[in-house]
């Protein structure tokens, strides 16, 4: 009887696929992630020579070369057709000329008008303009175009919001934002748009005249100029009061104004590029499945003489990826390579809007449905000064382990319990957290395509965040090492377990 009982017991006990005891080889490899190594590599990544690693820039290219050379020295295979680089194009518009005339009178650029920096090149002549108040269209609440036909016309609207209108949305796409008003005017069929500002400051162009990843668009932004109240008065007319005062006192309503207006804008488009750096450690029996370990190596560059070193953001993640790559490569050289292939990827353009990871997940080199996980690191070297509970020197924020796969959390927690014993803090995992961290770094592009992710983060949003003072001397290296080792052990487990992580949860994106 007893024998049979034991037999049944073993038969029906669920099979634990998570490591239940420490793996000697994993420990040996993790021990090569040393404080000295982290220090010396981060000193290079966040050095003045890298000039803050703006996307695109010479400093970023230097960092790319350094990361590639490190991957090569570890013996990693180039991830993209013989190259460590996956390069994507970037575009920047440069204004050649712009002009505005009202009734043959030339307006002065920067003083009377500033063209929208993303305008297409055009030359337009109008004999009329339609004034449409604040130009707000907010479904069911307000429509400043009511009763107006602006098809093919030049529309004049005021910046800002009227006193009798409130909106909860503070997004840059809200109906009362500049962007929202441009969208509304385009939807109404307008050919061009003037947005009136009380004063135009020098260099004002509404949106920064910066590099962009997208040059091909499904629709063009409406041809727009930002104009001063004085310039607007020449079109709308004046009763001695400013346009804004006229509107507020009710002496000004929506109307068609007769005026000969000439608008001209000419530009040229410059091109550049940036790269993701990808190194691969080939697996053994499961080498056609992939574990991704990612971090962004770009930061904010320079403003004037000030270098934004980005030591924590995200020099810490980049350096951790390098250290993990070295540790896994050493273990493989000792005969303890991973079963799945491990892809070490440092991406660029994160600070500009997750460009590199978006490009990778739109142009994946390794099948996303064979990518079991992305472990993404963005800032793991410092402490959160606003965290007033627990052990402030022994924690890490973990984000996303309850999404897409029910396998993530048990593995993450078990591995931490076995090896690193950090406090895993889920504060930023709350879908209602205003920081929306799940959507704010590169892992989101993987999650959006269904790849389970865990994101590791230190919560540094204090005085040095996105400041030139985010420097290597502020890093807590002992804590940094421990966090890097947690990611390493987690990757080790995920690379070696029998099954890929199951994808059994749907990702729901909370509304803003
Ligand atoms: Zn970052």
pTM assigned to the model: 0.83
Ligand 1: distance of its center to the CA of 452 in Å?
20
Residues 166-222: tens digit of each pLDDT: 877 777 789 999 999 999 999 999 999 999 998 887 666 655 558 999 888 888 899
Q: Are 253 and 144 in contact (CB under 8 A)?
A: no
Return the pLDDT at 9: 46
Kindly state the tokens that stand for 252.
């000004």
Distance 34 CA to ligand 1 centre (A): 23
Tokens of 31: 């021990």
Q: Scan for tokens 């008065």, then name that residue.
A: 233
- Cα distances from 301 to residues 308, 449, 459, 468, 485, in angstroms, run 6, 30, 22, 9, 29
pLDDT in tens, 436-474: 888 889 999 999 999 999 999 999 878 899 999 999 999
Half-sphere exposure of 94 (CA within 13 A, CB side): 5
Instruction: Measure 378 CA to ligand 1 centroid, in angstroms.
Output: 5
Question: Cα–Cα distance between 462 and 464 in angstroms, integer?
Answer: 6
Q: Are 345 and 44 spatial neighbours (Cβ–Cβ below 8 Å)? A: no
Residues 180 and 218 sit within 8 Å (Cβ to Cβ): no
417 Cα: distance to centroid of ligand 1 (angstroms): 27
Among 419, 427, 498, smallest CA distance to 458 is for: 427
163: confidence class by pLDDT, cuts 50, 70, 90: confident
- The CA 72 to ligand 1 mean position distance, Å, reads 25
Q: Which among 242, 446, 245 has a CA at the least distance from the CA of 361?
A: 446
- Nearest CA to 232 out of 248, 215, 244 is that of 244
Burial of residue 94 (CB within 10 Å: 0-12, 13-18, 19+) is: exposed
pLDDT band at 231 (very low <50, low <70, confident <90, very high): very high
Q: Mean pLDDT over residues 346-367, rounded?
A: 97
**Residue range 305-356, pLDDT digits in tens:** 999 999 999 999 999 999 999 999 999 999 999 999 999 999 999 999 999 9
pLDDT digits (tens, 9 = 90+) for 90-116: 998 888 999 999 999 999 999 999 999
- Rounded-to-integer distance, Cα 110 and Cα 203, Å: 7
Question: Rounded CA gap, 24 and 11, in Å?
Answer: 29
Give the Å distance between the CA of 254 and the centre of ligand 1.
46
**Measured in angstroms, how far is the CA atom of residue 42 from the centroid of ligand 1?**
15
In the predicted model, is pLDDT for residue 298 greater than 90? yes
pLDDT tens, residue by residue, 264-284: 999 999 999 999 999 999 999
DSSP assignments along 311-370, one per residue = IIIIIIHHHHHHHHHHHHHHHHHTT---SEEEEEEEES-HHHHSHHHHHHHHS-SS-GGG
Number of H helices, E strands in the chain: 13, 19
313 CA to centre of ligand 1 in angstroms: 4
* Distance in Å, CA 341 to ligand 1 centroid: 26
CA of 299 relative to ligand 1 center, distance in Å: 7
**DSSP labels, 436-479:** -GGGSSTHHHHHHTT--EEEEE----STTTTSTT--GGG--HHH
Q: Is beta strand 154-158 parallel, antiparallel or unpaired with respect to 192-197?
A: parallel
CA 42/CA 151 separation, integer angstroms: 57
CA of residue 460 to ligand 1 center, whole Å: 10
Residue 434 Cα to ligand 1 midpoint, Å, equals: 17
C-alpha 392 – ligand 1 centre gap (Å): 21
Ligand 1 centre and the CA of 351: distance in Å?
Answer: 7
Pairwise pLDDT comparison (45 vs 6), residue with the higher score: 45
On the question of pLDDT at 8 being above 70, the answer is: no
Q: Are 272 and 88 in contact (CB under 8 A)?
A: no
Q: How far is the CA of 401 from the centre of ligand 1 (A)?
A: 19
pLDDT more than 70, % of the chain = 94
Cα–ligand 1 centroid distance for 441 (angstroms): 7
User: In the 3-class helix/strand/coil scheme, how is 180-203 assigned residue by residue?
Assistant: HHHHHHHHCCCCEEEEEECCCCCC
Tell me how far the alpha carbon of residue 38 lies from the centroid of ligand 1, in angstroms.
Answer: 18
State the distance from the centre of ligand 1 to the C-alpha of 300, rounded, in angstroms.
10
CA of 440 to the centre of ligand 1 (A): 9
Q: Ligand 1 center to residue 295 CA distance, Å?
A: 8
Does residue 262 register a pLDDT over 90? Answer: yes
Centre of ligand 1 to C-alpha 60, Å, is 15
β-pairing, 340-347 vs 255-281, is antiparallel
- How far apart are the CA of 457 and the centre of ligand 1, in A? 9
In order of start, what are the domains of the chain with their CATH numbers? 16-75+282-496 (3.40.630.10), 95-267 (3.50.30.30)
What confidence score (pLDDT) does residue 247 get? 78
273 alpha carbon – ligand 1 mean position (Å):
20
CA–centroid distance, 296 to ligand 1, in Å, is 7
Best CA proximity match to 381, nearest among 315, 437, 327, 324: 315
Say how many C-beta atoms besides its own lie within 10 A of residue 383's C-beta: 18
Q: Tell me the CA–centroid distance for residue 350 and ligand 1, in Å.
A: 7
Q: How far is the CA of 379 from the centre of ligand 1 (A)?
A: 6
| Model pLDDT, residue 205 | 60
Helix 477-496 with 35-45: angle, nearest 10 deg: 100
Q: Residue 386 Cα, ligand 1 centroid: separation in angstroms? A: 19
Residues 6+ apart with CB under 8 A from 217: none
314 CA → ligand 1 middle, Å: 5
The H-or-E segment that residue 11 falls in is helix 2-12
Distance 501 CA to ligand 1 centre (A): 26
**Token pair of 1 as six digits:** 């009887």
Average pLDDT for residues 401-420, to the nearest whole number? 97
């Amino acid at each position: 009887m007893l024998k049979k009982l034991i037999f049944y017991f073993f038969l029906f006990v669920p099979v634990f696929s998570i490591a239940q005891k420490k793996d000697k080889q994993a420990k040996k490899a993790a021990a090569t992630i040393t404080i000295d190594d982290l220090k010396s590599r981060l000193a290079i990544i966040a050095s003045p020579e890298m000039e803050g690693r703006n996307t695109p820039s010479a400093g970023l290219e230097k960092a790319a070369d350094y990361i590639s050379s490190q991957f090569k020295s570890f013996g990693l295979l180039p991830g993209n057709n013989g190259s460590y680089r996956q390069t994507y194009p970037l575009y920047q518009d440069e204004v050649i000329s712009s002009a505005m005339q009202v009734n043959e009178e030339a307006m002065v650029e920067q003083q009377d008008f500033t063209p929208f920096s993303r305008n297409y090149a055009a030359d337009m002549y109008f004999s009329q303009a339609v004034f449409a108040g604040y130009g707000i269209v907010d479904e069911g609440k307000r429509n400043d175009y009511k009763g107006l036909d602006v098809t093919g016309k030049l529309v004049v609207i005021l910046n800002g919001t009227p006193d009798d209108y409130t909106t909860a949305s503070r997004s840059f796409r809200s109906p009362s934002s500049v962007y929202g008003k441009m969208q509304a005017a385009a939807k109404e069929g307008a050919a061009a748009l003037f947005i009136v500002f009380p004063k135009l400051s020098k260099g004002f162009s509404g949106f920064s005249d910066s590099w962009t990843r997208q040059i091909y668009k499904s629709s063009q932004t409406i041809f727009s100029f930002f104009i001063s109240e004085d310039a607007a008065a020449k079109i709308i007319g004046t009763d001695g009061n400013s346009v804004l005062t006229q509107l507020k006192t009710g002496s000004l309503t929506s109307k068609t104004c007769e005026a000969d207006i000439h608008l001209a804008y000419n530009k040229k488009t410059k091109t550049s590029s940036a790269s993701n750096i990808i190194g691969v450690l080939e697996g053994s029996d499961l080498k056609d499945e992939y574990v991704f370990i990612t971090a962004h190596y770009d930061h904010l560059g320079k403003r004037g003489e000030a270098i934004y070193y980005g030591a924590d953001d995200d020099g810490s993640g980049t350096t951790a990826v390098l250290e993990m790559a070295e540790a896994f490569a050493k273990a493989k050289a000792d005969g303890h390579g991973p079963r799945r292939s491990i892809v070490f990827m440092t991406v660029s353009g994160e600070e500009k809007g997750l460009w590199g990871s978006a490009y990778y997940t739109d142009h994946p080199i390794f099948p996303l449905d064979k990518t079991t996980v992305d472990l993404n690191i963005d800032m793991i070297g410092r402490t959160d000064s606003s965290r007033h509970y627990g052990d402030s020197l022994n924690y890490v924020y973990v984000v996303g382990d309850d999404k897409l796969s029910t396998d993530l959390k048990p593995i993450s927690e078990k591995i931490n319990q076995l090896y690193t014993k950090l406090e895993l803090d889920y504060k930023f995992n709350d879908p209602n957290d205003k920081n929306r961290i799940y959507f704010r770094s590169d892992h989101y592009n993987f999650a959006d395509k269904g790849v389970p992710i865990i994101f590791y983060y230190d919560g540094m949003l204090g005085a040095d965040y996105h400041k030139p003072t985010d420097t290597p001397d502020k890093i807590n290296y002992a804590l940094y090492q421990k966090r890097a080792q947690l990611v390493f052990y987690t990757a080790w487990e995920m690379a070696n377990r029998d099954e890929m992580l199951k994808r059994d949860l749907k990702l729901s994106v909370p509304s803003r």
